[in-house]
């Protein structure tokens, strides 16, 4: 009864979302903080004051949202944890300043960056070219490759878990293909500098799309947004799920040239003309207008992360440096699976990956100070 296409589907397995008991969730890189008060108020007043907004179709172009996203990127430079906060105003750190204005026609939004990524795969990667990507990066990419019947070639990580940029480029050249990776990368937590990405772009085929997934950039990466004017093949994917406390909202976006934004919009309009619901549009817009709050959350997460890394190191763990809201770490005492089970028994969920090469590690999302204190207490029992 099933189509032959179904054989290519190997669905993504997300971090577990158990309903049987209340765990402290440090397994899906969600933000431990709620959205800001303004977002909550806007959501309730939006429904109360315009009930018809839910019975009529929403703005298909999401214009106000795209304008708010562009403004936020200009104000923060795309790295919240380094943005300077002055009351309600934010400004980018010197090194993050974008040397041009990001405009609304450079933004495309969709239902979480997972959906956005799927449309990016459809628009830019073909079944007659082997898409080239690092061996360990966001594990949803191979899922889309299967879905759209795009062959892949993966490049092993360097010894220190960083992306082997030379090999990645050489293989992409050989395969005459596009490139995709996350920066900072998951689950390694490591980032490439903007200059490293620029050097890659200078050597890559300018006719092939180069996708940088910046889901974690706000926690200390270097954004490639300033490179957009120089490289017309660059597509940057971002999400509200991590740094904008909005995983439940399902809001992701790309930043790219208007031409590439139009291509992705064509894919969307061929599938579902109205994928972003009215409520997500206004709550997303309101979040962007309150970048000061989210910058403060990102700073708290980074501070907690750095202190947690020091704690683990004192306990003899191996920990990767991290520019994200999680750490990839290896216990000196137990294999990854046992660490995961031990911590779960004590009411906290972390993520363990069974794949070869990473099975000794666990990936731990950074929570609030209280949550990290609880986790440290459990680790002290090991
Ligand atoms: C979490 C994550 C996403 C998915 O984000 P959503 O917007 O929630 O779909 C995409 N890419 C990377 C690298 C991620 O870690």
Q: Which residues line ligand 1 (CB under 6 A)?
A: 29, 112-114, 138, 182, 186, 213, 215, 239, 241-242, 247, 252
Q: Which three-class secondary structure state does DSSP give residue 18?
A: coil
List, in sequence order, every residue forming a beta bridge with 213; answer none if it has no partner: 182, 237
DSSP H helical segments within the chain, as ranges? Answer: 37-49, 63-76, 112-124, 140-147, 165-175, 194-203, 258-269, 278-289, 291-314, 336-345, 369-380
CB 238 within 8 A of CB 250: no
Residue 11: pLDDT band (50, 70, 90) is confident
Question: Tens of pLDDT along 244-284?
Answer: 999 999 999 999 999 999 999 999 999 988 779 999 999 99
pLDDT at 177: 95
Atom of ligand 1 nearest to the CA of 113: 7
Ligand 1 centroid to residue 99 C-alpha, Å:
27
Distances (CA, A) of 280 to 81, 196, 247, 275, 302: 24, 35, 11, 10, 27
Atom of ligand 1 nearest to the CA of 239: 7
Tell whether pTM > 0.75. yes
Sign of the CA dihedral running 93, 97, 103, 104: negative
Ligand 1 centroid to residue 116 C-alpha, Å:
10
Q: Which three-class secondary structure state does DSSP give residue 292?
A: helix
Q: Which three-class secondary structure state does DSSP give residue 186?
A: coil
Q: Which residue's CA is minimally distant from atom 11 of ligand 1?
A: 215
- Residue 75 makes CB contacts below 8 A (sequence gap 6+) with 83, 89, 90, 91, 92, 291
Ligand 1 centroid to residue 234 C-alpha, Å:
18
State the chain's maximal CA–CA distance in angstroms. 61
d(CA 212, CA 308): 28
Q: Is the predicted pLDDT of residue 17 greater than 90, yes or no? A: no
Q: Which residue's CA is minimally distant from atom 5 of ligand 1?
A: 113
Residue 128: pLDDT band (50, 70, 90) is very high
pLDDT at 22: 87
For 359, other C-beta atoms within 10 Å of its C-beta total 12
Question: Tens of pLDDT along 94-109?
Answer: 999 999 999 999 999 9
Indicate the top mutation candidate among 215, 237, 245, 254 to test ligand 1's pocket, ranked by most ligand atoms within 8 A of CB: 215
Q: 347: alpha, beta or left, given left = phi > 0 and alpha = psi -120 to 50?
A: left
The strand pair at 89-91 and 84-86 is best described as: antiparallel
Q: Is the predicted pLDDT of residue 373 greater than 90, yes or no? A: yes
What average pLDDT does the segment 313-334 reach? 98
pLDDT at 197: 98
Indicate the top mutation candidate among 136, 138, 324 to test ligand 1's pocket, ranked by most ligand atoms within 8 A of CB: 138
Ligand 1 centroid to residue 239 C-alpha, Å:
6
pLDDT at 12: 81
pLDDT at 49: 94
pLDDT at 306: 98
Atom of ligand 1 nearest to the CA of 115: 9
Question: Tens of pLDDT along 189-237?
Answer: 999 999 999 999 999 999 999 999 999 999 999 999 999 999 999 999 9
Helices (H) and strands (E) in the chain, counts: 11, 14
Q: Is the predicted pLDDT of residue 315 greater than 90, yes or no? A: yes
- Provide, rounded to the nearest whole percent, the portion of the chain with pLDDT above 70: 100
d(CA 350, CA 374): 13
List, in sequence order, every residue forming a beta bridge with 348; answer none if it has no partner: 24
Q: Which residue's CA is minimally distant from atom 2 of ligand 1?
A: 215
What average pLDDT does the segment 43-58 reach? 92
What average pLDDT does the segment 302-321 reach? 98
- Provide, rounded to the nearest whole percent, the portion of the chain with pLDDT above 90: 91
DSSP string, 320-333: ---SSSEEEEE-SS
d(CA 204, CA 166): 10
pLDDT at 102: 98
For 217, other C-beta atoms within 10 Å of its C-beta total 30
Question: Tens of pLDDT along 230-251?
Answer: 999 999 999 999 999 999 999 9
- Token pair 């405009």 is at which residue? 103
d(CA 115, CA 105): 19
Residue 19: pLDDT band (50, 70, 90) is confident
Q: Which residue's CA is minimally distant from atom 14 of ligand 1?
A: 215
pLDDT at 376: 98
Residue 67: pLDDT band (50, 70, 90) is very high
């Amino acid at each position: 009864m099933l189509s032959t296409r179904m054989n290519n589907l190997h669905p993504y397995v997300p971090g577990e979302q158990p309903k049987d008991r209340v765990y402290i969730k440090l397994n899906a890189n969600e933000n431990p903080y709620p959205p800001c008060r303004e977002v909550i108020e806007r959501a309730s007043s939006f429904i109360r004051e315009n009930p018809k907004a839910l019975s009529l179709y929403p703005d298909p172009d999401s214009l106000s949202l795209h304008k708010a996203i562009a403004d936020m990127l200009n104000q923060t430079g795309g790295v919240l944890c380094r943005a300077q906060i002055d009351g309600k105003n934010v400004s980018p750190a010197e090194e993050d300043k974008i040397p041009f204005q990001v405009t609304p026609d450079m933004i495309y939004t969709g239902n979480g960056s997972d959906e956005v990524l799927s449309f990016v795969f459809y628009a830019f990667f073909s079944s007659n070219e082997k898409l080239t990507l690092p061996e360990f990066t966001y594990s949803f990419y191979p899922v889309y490759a299967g879905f759209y019947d795009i062959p892949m070639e993966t490049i092993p990580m360097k010894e220190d878990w960083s992306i082997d940029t030379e090999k990645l480029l050489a293989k992409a050249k050989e395969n005459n293909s596009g490139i995709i990776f996350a920066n900072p990368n998951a689950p390694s937590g490591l980032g490439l500098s903007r200059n490293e990405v620029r050097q890659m772009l200078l050597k890559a085929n300018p006719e092939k799309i180069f996708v940088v997934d910046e889901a974690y950039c706000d926690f200390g990466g270097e954004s490639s947004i300033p490179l957009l004017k120089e490289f017309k093949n660059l597509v940057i994917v971002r999400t509200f799920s991590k740094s904008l406390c909005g995983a439940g909202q399902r809001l992701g976006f790309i930043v790219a040239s208007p031409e590439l934004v139009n291509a992705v919009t064509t894919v969307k309009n061929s599938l579902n003309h109205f994928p972003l619901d009215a409520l997500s549009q206004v709550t997303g817009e309101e979040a962007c207008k309150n970048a000061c709050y989210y910058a403060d959350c990102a700073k708290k997460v980074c501070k907690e992360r750095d202190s947690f890394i020091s704690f683990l190191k004192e306990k003899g763990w191996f920990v990767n440096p991290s520019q994200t809201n999680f750490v990839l770490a290896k216990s000196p005492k137990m294999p990854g699976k046992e660490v995961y089970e031990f911590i779960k028994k004590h009411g906290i969920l972390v993520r363990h990956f069974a794949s070869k090469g990473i099975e000794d590690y666990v990936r731990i999302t950074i929570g609030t100070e209280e949550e990290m204190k609880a986790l440290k207490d459990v680790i002290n029992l090991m």
